[in-house]
Every structure is written in structure tokens, then in C-alpha cells.
Amino acid sequence: MEENQTDNVENRDVKVSDNDSNSGNSSVTEDQINENLETPDDENDNINADDLKNTVSNNDARLEQLEKEHETLKSQYVRIAADFDNFRKRQSRDQDDLKIQLISKSLTAVLPIVDNFERARQQLKPESEEAQTLHRNYQGLYKQLVDVLKQQGVAPMRVVGQQFDPNLHEAVLREPSQEYKEDIIIEELQRGYHLEGKVLRHALVKVSMGPGQEKSQEQQEQDKVEETIDSETNVSEEN
């Protein structure tokens, strides 16, 4: 009986040790399975991270390229807009210049008529009632003509007493003057006109040469002697 009990105890110990061995083996197998399961996930995570980095890098490069293209198109737009604005201004200036040229050509043909009106006004001296009526009618026509010129931007030059300017005046005569300094306009021979600040017609003027040189006493005495000789010569010829 005791031997049977001993054998049973030993059998139980063997079974327990076998169970322990089996449980140890099972735990090792589970660890290996877990490792095998975890390894693909880590590799997938690394692959996904690399793909994400590549995607971000590609997007950054694409964004940089688009920004460069945007700057290029923007600069082209600014340049085209500036060129168009310059073209528009140039066209406007050309149209204004053409308009002024046409008006100038027409008004230049009218100015001699204005000159004739002014000459007639200076020469006419109405005395009778009929002449005065005619003179008033003439003055009315002249005023209408002047008003039309003013509406077109025409303005007469005021030149007497002004410094001679070849851009505005045309010197027809030059003579000494005790009243005016050199290169000062002393008389207006034909009136000049402006059109919108530009010269429509130059003024014909007489310009001072300044005070003439005073004769010395010897020259004055010599002139008197010459006059006496001339007078005696004339008397002798008459006799």
C-alpha cells in the first residue's frame, strides 16, 4: 500500500512538472507569436512615415514652383498694365496735340482779319452821326471776333517793355533808345498770340539797342564846323 501511494505521488509530480514544462513552452510560443505580429506593424509604420515625408517634400517643391510661376505672372501683368497705361497717356497726348494743331491752323488764318480790324480802329475817326453808327457796328463785330478767339483759348501777348525772347518775339528793327535798356522791346509792330500756353504767332517787335553814345565836345565842334562850311558852300554856289 505504501509503495502504491509513493508511486502515485511520483506520478503526480511528473504530471505537474510536465504541466509546468508545457506551460513554459506555451508562454514562449505566445511571445514569439506576439513578436511576429508586432514586427509587420512596425515595418508598416516606417513605410507610411517615409511615404508621408516624400509626399510632404513633393508638395513643398510643387508649392515653391507655383509661387515662382505666380511671381512671374504677376510681374508680367504689372509690366503689361504699365505699358498699357503709357500707351493710353501717349494716345491722349497725341490727340491733344493733333487737336491743338488743327485749331492753330484755323486760327492762324483768322488772325490777319483781326489785324485789319485793329488797323481800321486806329485809323478811323468818326465825326458824323452816320460814321459813328458805322464805327459802333464795326466795334461790335470786332468784339464778337475777339470773344470767339478767347473761347478757343487764344490770348494776346503783352510785349512792350518786356525783355526780348526769341521764343516769343521776332525782332524786325533795332534802334538806340534813351528810355529803354538794351534788348527791351520798345514797340509792337504786329501782335503775337498764345494758344493754351503755346505760341500761336510770334510778335513782330522793335528792340532797343540801349542809350546811344554821347558825342564828345570835339565831335560837336567838328560837326558845327562842317555845318558852317556846308552852308557857306551852298551860299557861294547860289551866287
Per-residue pLDDT band at 231 (split at 50, 70, 90): low
Q: What whole-number distance in Å separates Cα of residue 97 and Cα of residue 91?
A: 10
Domains along the chain? 153-213 (2.30.22.10)
pLDDT at 16 over 50: no
Read off the DSSP letter of residue 164: P
Terminal C-alpha separation, the chain: 213
Listed as own residue / partner, the contacts of 170-175 with beta carbons closer than 8 Å and 24 or more positions apart are 170/202, 170/203, 170/204, 170/205, 171/205, 171/206, 171/207, 172/204, 172/205, 172/206, 173/206, 173/207, 174/206, 174/207, 174/208, 174/209, 175/206, 175/208, 175/209
Mean pLDDT, range 50-71, rounded to an integer: 83
Per-residue pLDDT band at 223 (split at 50, 70, 90): low
Question: How do residues 188-214 score in pLDDT, each as one tens digit?
Answer: 999 999 988 889 999 999 999 988 654
**Mean model confidence pLDDT for the chain:** 76
Question: How do residues 134-184 score in pLDDT, each as one tens digit?
Answer: 778 888 888 898 898 899 889 999 999 999 999 999 999 999 988 889 999
